[in-house]
Structure 1
Amino acid sequence: MVMKIFLFIIGFAVLAFVSCTHSSIAWETLIKEKSGYCANKFQDKEEMEACEVKHLAVQHAKKECQNYTHPEYCLAIAEYSWENYIKYVIKRKPTKQDAQSYPMICGDKESKK
């Protein structure tokens, strides 16, 4: 129980320090949404594309995190990884290819596999 509380607090702290995103849609929203969400949400092509790239990053994270003991924590760290990958590594507008292949840091190496 203490470990779960600790992981929750760490995950929340990580989210608090994440820099501004390229899409105005929250990571948590995209975790719940299916493909096609961005096209229905935005009329502006640039906003829609930014949303779609971010949605692909979320889908990549969901796939990678599904087998971890603490998938919610993994997703929080994946968001942090994505934002910092954009800010410090690619240093440009992210592409769909970036979103599907960015290196994730889950911090939870205990897989349920």
Structure 2
Amino acid sequence: MRFQWLLIIPFFCLLTACSSSQVHWRDISSNAVQASAAEEPLSLCRELYKDEAQIYQCEVEMSALLRARQQCEKDTDPSYCVLMAEYTWRHYKDHVLEDSPDIKQAGNYPVMCGYKENQITPCSLTK
């Protein structure tokens, strides 16, 4: 009987993860490539999600991701820069912003370049 609980716990964890309302960059990253080429990149969120709260959260995250990709083009290692930008964005949301982020904040958060060279500066100042 004790061992049956061990089988139930992973199942419960799977259900909990699938029902999460969080939208992460990893969820939208592959679609963001299509979105950056599209006329209206945020409209892709309506295709990916049905719940209005998730759609808005996706639009915020997509805005932050597209900003990071655009800013990180100036970096010597753009893909690493985007990974660090995601970390910075999560930290910015959790520790700097007092409320849930909006699209304007997603379009203005600081994206940093130069991690590989240990010369970290805002990408907006990088040539």
TM-score, scaled to structure 1 = 0.70
Give the distance between the partners of 2:77 and 2:106, measured in 1 at CA.
22
Is 2:108 aligned against 1:101? Answer: yes
Q: Which residue of 2 aligns with 1:11?
A: none
**CA–CA separation in structure 2 for the residues paired with 1:63 and 1:102:** 13
Percent identity, aligned pairs only, is: 26
The structure with more radius of gyration: 2
User: Normalized against structure 2, the TM-score is what?
Assistant: 0.63
Q: Deviation at 1:85? A: 0.2
Out of 47, 51, 67, which is 2:54 matched to? 47
In structure 1, give the amino acid aligned to 2:107: Q
| 1: CA distance, partners of 2:24 / 2:77 | 26
CA RMSD of aligned residues (A): 2.7
Q: How many residues align?
A: 94
- 1:86 is matched with 93
Deviation of residue 69 (structure 1)? 1.1
The runs of 4+ residues in structure 1 deviating greater than 4 Å are: 108-113
Q: Tell me the CA shift for residue 91 of structure 1.
A: 3.4
Q: Which amino acid aligns with 1:29?
A: S
Bigger relative contact order, structure 1 or 2, given CA contacts below 8 A and separation 6+? 1
Gapped runs of 5+ residues in structure 1? 1-20
Residue segments in structure 2 that go unaligned for 5+ positions in a row: 1-20, 36-40
SS at match of 1:101: coil
